[in-house]
Amino acid sequence: MSERAGLTRLTGSGNGNGNGNGECGQGDCPNVYRTEKGTFVVQGDVSSAFTPPQGEGLVEIPESVLREAVRVLGW
């Protein structure tokens, strides 16, 4: 998803969550975004743990990114 309109970035505010290898837009991921509908978009390294159904994908993100998203949401 290159267009980020309507997304609120919950993580990755320059705090070192990027993977540092340039594969995600120069350390731009992993990140968690909230949509206007209240759903979440997760950006991260593609995982090959299993083959998801057509139209779905798997990403791996570190625990620290989920913790940051929970903190931002005040859960």
Task: For residue range 39-75, list pLDDT tens digits in order.
Answer: 999 998 889 999 999 999 999 888 999 999 999 999 8
Q: Is 36 helix (H, G, I), strand (E, B) or coil?
A: coil
Peptide bond into 62 cis (omega under 30): no
Those residues with Cβ within 8 angstroms of residue 29's Cβ, 6 or more apart along the chain or in another chain: 12, 17, 18, 19, 43, 44, 45
SS3 71: helix
Does position 37 have pLDDT exceeding 90, yes or no?
Answer: yes
CB distance 51 to 35 below 8 Å? no
Q: Are 7 and 33 in contact (CB under 8 A)?
A: yes
Q: Is the pLDDT of residue 17 over 90?
A: no
